[in-house]
């Protein structure tokens, strides 16, 4: 198998963009349900306005140029095409760091972190905190899609990242991630504990095994009780998308791959639920252009099905309780997220824990400066 790493640039044929424009103009809209609010899903009125902007105001070529401003590459690992950004710092003592996104995210999540992480001196920081940054697209997601075979669980992805970092010549490095990345990054520490200096996650890496016995419930703090209630509410009110993606990703893929508005609504539902505060519309928290660029990566690559398949359809791999790697691990928990330290400590060596009263699940998009500062602080003594 070739271990070549080849340069890559995004260059979407104009025919695809013309087709998207045509499809958006011919959308067959459903009748709004009573109230037309978020209680029944994405409101028709709000989505129509966003689609109108997508069709007449959003410029993919600008987004494409922004992405292409950063060096991108392709390689094949374990028979799977892997796309990644690799931005080296100008600082000679920079430390390598691999960032992993989740669902429904993409490498576009991290664009606002690249400058401050790789060149902190130019962004008001200390040059000694510089990183060489590697951002892979998860197998089956975006330009790493589709998947060639099954079995892309946490462990296999982590082993793929270890091989990628080896090919890039990095023998010692850090790992960071949220959502799926918050599972992959600790597992990277387990498969390569002699090479991973530290693991940093946003949102936590381990959820409590529900239901909890009464004696455990009695020991929880008020903050922990609030997070536990929100976990329970999620399982009651929001778990449907996981059930569908985990059991029928192919069936779902027909609608999302054929309808750009369907793909947009499926992803926007989660951006509304998981950004903070929930009462504020997601496009008021994260700019419309960035939201649409993220959706475009799924749409243009036709990877709704393979992303669902990797992210949720192989649940046995995500649910495994792994041993503690001993690698120093940090967690920053923003206001939306629900991590509880005592449960993260069952499988991770927590050396830093920060609770934040603002921000949501998409930390790199919502609070890039705060996330960057916490990453710098954690890795400062691990380089």
Instruction: Assess contact for 358 and 364: CB atoms under 8 A.
Output: no
Catalytic residue among 153, 179, 283, 337: 179
**Is position 312 annotated as part of the catalytic site?**
yes
Burial label for 9, CB within 10 Å (0-12, 13-18, 19+), is exposed
Pairing of strands 173-178, 196-202: parallel
Residue pair 363/109 in contact (Cβ under 8 Å)? The answer is no
In total, the chain counts a number of residues equal to 383
DSSP, collapsed to helix, strand or coil, labels residue 95 as strand
Tokens of 137: 């697209």
Both tokens of 192, joined, read 């390569």
Q: Spot the catalytic one: 58, 170, 173, 312.
A: 312
Query: Cβ neighbours of residue 291 under 8 Å, at least 6 residues apart?
Result: 268, 271, 282, 283
Tokens of 332: 């920053």
Q: Which residue from 105, 108, 19 is spatially nearest to 63, judged by alpha carbons?
A: 108
Which tokens belong to 172? 């010692």
Angle between helices 260-274 and 240-247 (to 10 degrees): 130
The helix/strand count (H/E) of the chain reads as: 18, 9
Contact 166, 116 (CB under 8 A): no
Spacing of C-alpha 40 from chain mean position: 25
C-alpha 125 chain-centroid distance: 25
Q: Is 361 a catalytic residue?
A: yes
The angle, 0 to 180 degrees and rounded to 10, between the axes of the packed helices 14-25 and 260-274 is 80
> CA-CA distance, 260 to 269, in Å (whole number)?
14
Cα gap 75→73, rounded to integer Å? 7
User: Which residue carries 């271990």 as its tokens?
Assistant: 3
Gap between the Cα atoms of 199 and 322, Å rounded: 15
Q: Would you please indicate which residues are annotated as catalytic (active-site) residues?
A: 179, 312, 361
């Amino acid at each position: 198998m070739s271990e070549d790493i080849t340069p890559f640039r995004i260059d979407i044929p104009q025919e695809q963009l013309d087709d998207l424009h045509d499809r958006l103009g011919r959308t067959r809209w459903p009748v709004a349900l009573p109230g037309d609010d978020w209680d029944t899903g994405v409101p028709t009125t709000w989505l129509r306005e966003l689609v109108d902007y997508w069709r007449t105001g959003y410029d993919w070529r600008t987004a494409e140029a922004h992405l292409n401003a950063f060096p991108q590459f392709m390689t094949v690992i374990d028979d799977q095409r892997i796309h990644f950004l690799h931005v080296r710092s100008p600082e000679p003592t920079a430390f390598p760091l691999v960032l992993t996104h989740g669902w429904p995210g993409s490498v576009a999540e991290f664009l606002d972190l690249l400058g401050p992480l790789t060149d902190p001196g130019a962004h008001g920081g200390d040059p000694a905190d510089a990183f060489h940054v590697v951002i892979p697209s998860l197998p089956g997601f975006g330009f790493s899609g589709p998947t060639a075979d099954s079995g892309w669980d946490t462990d296999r992805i982590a082993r793929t990242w270890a091989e990628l970092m080896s090919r890039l010549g990095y023998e010692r490095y850090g790992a960071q991630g949220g959502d799926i990345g918050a599972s992959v990054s600790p597992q990277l520490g387990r498969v390569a504990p002699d090479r991973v200096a530290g693991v940093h996650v946003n949102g936590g890496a381990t959820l409590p095994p529900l239901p909890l016995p009464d004696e455990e419930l009695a020991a929880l703090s008020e903050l922990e009780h609030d997070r536990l209630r929100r976990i329970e509410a999620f399982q009651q009110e929001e778990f449907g998308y996981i059930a569908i993606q985990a059991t029928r990703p192919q069936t779902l893929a027909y609608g999302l791959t054929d309808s750009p508005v369907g793909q947009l609504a499926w992803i926007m539902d989660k951006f509304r639920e998981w950004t903070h505060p929930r009462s504020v519309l997601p496009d008021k928290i994260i700019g419309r252009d960035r939201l649409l660029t993220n959706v475009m990566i799924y749409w243009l690559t036709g990877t709704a099905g393979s992303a669902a398949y990797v992210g949720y359809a192989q649940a046995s791999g995500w649910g495994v309780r792994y041993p503690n790697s001993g690698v120093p691990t940090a967690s920053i928990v923003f206001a939306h997220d629900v991590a509880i330290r005592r449960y993260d400590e069952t499988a991770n060596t927590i050396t830093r824990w920060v609770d934040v009263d603002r921000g949501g699940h998409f930390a790199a998009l919502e609070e890039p400066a705060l996330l960057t500062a916490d990453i710098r602080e954690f890795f400062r003594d691990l380089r």
